């Protein structure tokens, strides 16, 4: 009938079959995933910084310029 497949898992980066004890199939895949995570984290911090800047502008500018439907201060 069906032959039993030995215990294994697949690399999360490239999908190659590997031993069940290993986390990645090669150092190249491990470094690639580390670099990808670092880029994602940097992108998240940049996005959060831009979000904070926009929130500050929305909070500060309406009182000085009268934008967003508020009347300018006399």
Q: What is the pLDDT of residues 10-21, one digit of tens each?
A: 988 898 988 888
Left, alpha or beta for 68 (phi > 0: left; psi -120 to 50: alpha)? Answer: left
Bridge-partner residues for 45, per DSSP?
none
Token pair of 68 as six digits: 């967003």
Of the pLDDT bands very low, low, confident and very high (cuts 50, 70, 90), residue 62 is low
Domain count, the chain: 1
Query: Does any domain span residue 41?
Result: yes
**What are the backbone dihedrals phi and psi of residue 17, each rounded to the nearest 5 degrees, phi first?**
-70, 140
Query: Does any domain span residue 35?
Result: yes
Which tops the pLDDT comparison, 36 or 19? 36
Show the domain range for 38: 8-65
Query: Does any domain span residue 40?
Result: yes
| Distance between first and last Cα of the chain | 88
Query: Does any domain span residue 74?
Result: no
Query: Does any domain span residue 70?
Result: no
Q: How far is it, in rounded angstroms, from Cα 15 to Cα 32?
A: 13
């Amino acid at each position: 009938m069906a032959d039993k497949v030995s215990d294994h898992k697949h690399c999360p980066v490239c999908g190659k079959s590997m031993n069940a004890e290993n986390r990645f199939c090669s150092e190249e895949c491990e470094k690639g995933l580390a670099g990808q995570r670092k880029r994602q984290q940097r992108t998240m911090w940049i996005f959060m910084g831009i979000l904070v800047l926009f929130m500050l502008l929305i909070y500060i500018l309406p009182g000085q310029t009268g934008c967003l439907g508020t009347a300018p201060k006399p």
